[in-house]
């Protein structure tokens, strides 16, 4: 299918959602990711109003011309209305809502204040829709999976590109800068999130550490968490290393994390509760005596957001379904020890799953006999 | 003053704000920029509760250890409470609010849904505070201005570093990648926002264009809008160029934009309405017959956010005051012509202002006689 066909399918599904309602006549999208997903518009300011028959995109002067071009590129029939201020948007909205009395708004996105202003400015029955397009957007179409596959491939290649420099005692920032540069050279729009490079007994013990000038030393644990952004779609992957010989504790922990990750992936298929995948990872780490060191959830969905539905943790009610793209990323952390994490991005298929990234999982970075 | 002293001053100002209220007993911060500004904590998940005597930071397992370290580093006396879920945060909050009946919440930040959950979970009188710390954060202290000065210096040097490559027909993306790489090499944590490189009759006509593979050709307008991020603080600058000879229309437009920008800067000092600065820029462009081509506001405040108070546009009620750090950035755009914009970041001083960036404003990139 073409880009136009994907977008046309998306609009059909959104209008079906609206069509199932007798008491709601329109939806007002304020979440720019939803607006992008549906209309192709990527500006940083916009509102999208959708009825059974019409669609209007409200944006400001900076984006009006771009909005026309992007909407035409994906073949979506929406009118672009240029508005200078939020108040102008609400006035323009009011004009187009004469026949719509009940309207969904994105209550998980609009702030308390903006909703108050909307409610005071546009006379309608505003119906909170906490998760309006979440279920539709959760299931990725082949166009989206292809983009995330490209993003994974770029991150794989960038990671392979920095491995040689790890032996020359670079700083965390040096590695981060090189990864981000390589990803762009390889066609990414940028990193998918703030690239994590964390090494040593303190920094690597922080799952979401920001790179510093700390140097990567022999014998220390090293976590690299890196993804690429391609046309708005994210990838997400983590690999862990020790430069030189691993000690017994590191080998034990790495093998347990790798096994926990593999066991989580092996379980992931349609119909399985995400909390069971989380429990499986914890069980493997528990048997290795390391469960206490795993202090975050097992994974999350990825798409136009780096964190989205479904979440894989002990309190998530989600059941995996075909089209989910999720991370599986157990890790262990302790101040003094440092940390180790292994993470893949997988797509749930009809009967099992497929891993989108391909970076090897060998943790020990030894100086190559050819280069020393 | 030291980092600790800056943070201590900030907390004093926040507690003064609270002390002026008889009907409000605590404030709950959810905006991570406010939390960073006050406590030094940079994690992606956290809530900060402040009373006249106590302060608690609620965060999850990924950030608990980091939170301790960051709070200690700035000398803020806050207790860190580790909570796995938002519901756990609300339970932990409820325990600490027994003596506080009226509490400010950040109504411009909390979503409609999260507020509903908070309101249902924690029994208190929640008082909307749309702009709680905005006035305090708007006025930058010398520590903040120093960081933005560093960020400006990095962007200046990165821009100087890419100028030679403009003559070799690079793509917009090539230039963007090199700018972002250089800024990091020069010590930035990253770009301050998505770096804009826009050239040619179509792309440069979009004020917020995203870089593409379009090549920079002789005779076309080129806009480069670039800033660096240093310790959470942003810089913001735009320069415009034409490779080779400029034509008459380009010279006329560039001179008008440069004059409009200079006139805006010349007017900026404490007591002047930001809309008057905006009007001044428009007046200069009007006299040149180009006002219609200036389709966005004149500027905005910059700090921990790339866009924050005060805004400089025709509908802004803000009056400039010492400590404001704002952009002045008129531009002209038209499909077919392309675009030109000149932007500086200035700090409002006691009697006038000081420009934080120093990049030259020569628009014509000529092949150097030495290199050709």
Give the model's pLDDT for residue B370: 47
Across chain B, mean pLDDT equals 93
Distance CA B58, CA B65 (A): 12
Give the model's pLDDT for residue A311: 97
Under the phi-then-psi rule, with left for phi > 0, alpha for psi from -120 to 50, and beta for the rest, what region is A58?
Answer: beta
Condensed to tens digits (0 to 9), the pLDDT of residues B90-134 reads 999 988 887 778 999 999 999 999 999 999 999 889 999 988 899
Give the model's pLDDT for residue A355: 98
Query: For an interface test with A, which of B112, B198, B205 has the most A Cβ atoms less than 10 Å from its Cβ?
Result: B112
Checking if the pLDDT of A99 tops 90, the result is no
CA atoms A108, A113, A119, A122: torsion sign: negative
Q: What is the ipTM of this complex?
A: 0.82
Q: Residues in chain B whose beta carbon is closer than 8 A to a beta carbon of chain A?
A: 42-44, 60-66, 84-85, 105, 107-116, 128, 130, 173, 176-177, 180-181, 184-185, 189-190, 194, 205-210, 295-296, 315, 335
Distance CA A110, CA B181 (A): 35
Collapsed DSSP state (helix, strand, coil) of residue B324 = coil
List, in order of start, the domains of chain A with CATH numbers: 3-137 (3.40.350.10), 142-365 (3.90.230.10)
Distance from CA of B283 to the nearest CA of A (A): 19
Q: State whether A206 and B107 contact (CB < 8 Å).
A: no
β-strand partners of B199: B222
Condensed to tens digits (0 to 9), the pLDDT of residues A233-244 reads 999 999 999 999
What count of other Cβ atoms lies within 10 Å of the Cβ of residue B107? 22
Condensed to tens digits (0 to 9), the pLDDT of residues B7-34 reads 889 999 999 999 888 888 899 999 999 9
Q: Which two tokens stand for residue B311?
A: 């805004």
Q: State whether A208 and B295 contact (CB < 8 Å).
A: no
For residue A372, name the pLDDT band (cuts at 50, 70, 90): very low
Residue of A nearest to B209 (CA): A66
Phi and psi at B253, nearest 5°, equal -65, -45
Q: Residues in chain A whose beta carbon is closer than 8 A to a beta carbon of chain B?
A: 42-44, 60-63, 65-66, 84-85, 105, 107-116, 128, 130, 173, 176-177, 180-181, 184-185, 189-190, 194, 205-210, 295-296, 315, 335
Distance CA B187, CA A176 (A): 12
Give the model's pLDDT for residue A203: 95
Give the model's pLDDT for residue B21: 84
Query: For an interface test with B, which of A40, A113, A171, A192 has the most B Cβ atoms less than 10 Å from its Cβ?
Result: A113
Residue of A nearest to B62 (CA): A207
For residue A371, name the pLDDT band (cuts at 50, 70, 90): very low
Condensed to tens digits (0 to 9), the pLDDT of residues B250-280 reads 999 999 999 999 999 999 999 999 999 999 9
**CA-closest candidate to residue B190, choices B247, B135, B231:** B231
Condensed to tens digits (0 to 9), the pLDDT of residues A343-356 reads 999 999 999 999 99
Q: Would you write out chain B's pLDDT as a tens digit for each of its 372 residues? A: 788 888 889 999 999 999 888 888 899 999 999 999 999 999 989 999 999 999 999 998 888 888 999 999 998 889 999 998 889 999 999 888 877 789 999 999 999 999 999 999 998 899 999 888 999 999 999 999 999 999 999 999 999 999 999 999 999 999 999 999 999 999 999 999 999 999 999 999 998 898 999 999 999 999 999 999 999 999 999 999 999 999 999 999 999 999 999 999 999 999 999 999 999 999 999 999 999 999 999 999 999 999 999 999 999 999 999 999 999 999 999 999 999 999 999 999 999 999 999 999 988 776 555 443
């Amino acid at each position: 299918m073409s880009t136009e066909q994907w977008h046309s399918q998306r609009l059909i599904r959104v209008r079906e959602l609206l069509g199932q309602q007798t008491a709601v006549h329109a939806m007002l999208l304020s979440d720019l990711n939803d607006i992008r997903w549906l209309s192709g518009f990527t500006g940083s300011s916009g509102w999208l109003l959708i009825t059974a028959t019409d669609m209007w995109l409200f944006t400001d002067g900076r984006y009006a011309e771009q909005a026309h071009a992007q909407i035409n590129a994906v073949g979506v029939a929406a009118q672009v209305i240029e508005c200078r201020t939020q108040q102008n948007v609400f006035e323009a909205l009011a004009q187009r809502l004469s026949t719509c009395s009940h309207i969904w708004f994105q209550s998980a996105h609009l702030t308390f204040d903006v909703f108050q202003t909307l409610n005071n400015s546009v006379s309608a029955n505003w119906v909170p829709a906490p998760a309006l397009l979440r279920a539709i957007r959760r299931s990725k179409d082949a166009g989206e999976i292809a983009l995330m596959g490209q993003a994974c491939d770029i991150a794989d290649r960038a990671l392979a590109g920095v491995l040689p420099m790890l032996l020359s005692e670079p700083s965390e920032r040096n590695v981060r800068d090189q990864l981000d540069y390589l990803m762009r050279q390889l066609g990414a729009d940028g990193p998918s999130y703030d690239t994590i490079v964390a090494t040593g007994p303190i920094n690597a013990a922080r799952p979401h550490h920001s790179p510093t000038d700390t140097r990567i030393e022999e014998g220390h644990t090293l976590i690299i968490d890196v993804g690429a952004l391609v046309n708005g779609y994210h990838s997400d992957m983590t690999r862990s290393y020790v430069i030189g010989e691993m000690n017994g504790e590191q080998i034990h922990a790495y093998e347990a994390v790798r096994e926990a990750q593999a066991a989580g992936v092996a379980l992931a298929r349609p119909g399985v509760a995400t909390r069971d995948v989380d429990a499986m990872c914890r069980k493997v780490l528990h048997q290795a005596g390391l469960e206490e060191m795993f202090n975050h959830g097992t994974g999350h969905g990825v798409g136009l957001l780096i964190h989205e539905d479904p979440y894989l943790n002990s309190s998530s009610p989600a059941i995996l379904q075909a089209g989910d793209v999720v991370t599986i990323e157990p890790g262990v952390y302790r101040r003094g020890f440092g940390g180790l994490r292994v993470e893949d991005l997988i797509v749930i298929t009809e009967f099992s799953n497929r891993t989108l990234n391909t970076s090897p999982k060998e943790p020990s970075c030894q100086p190559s006999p050819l280069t020393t």
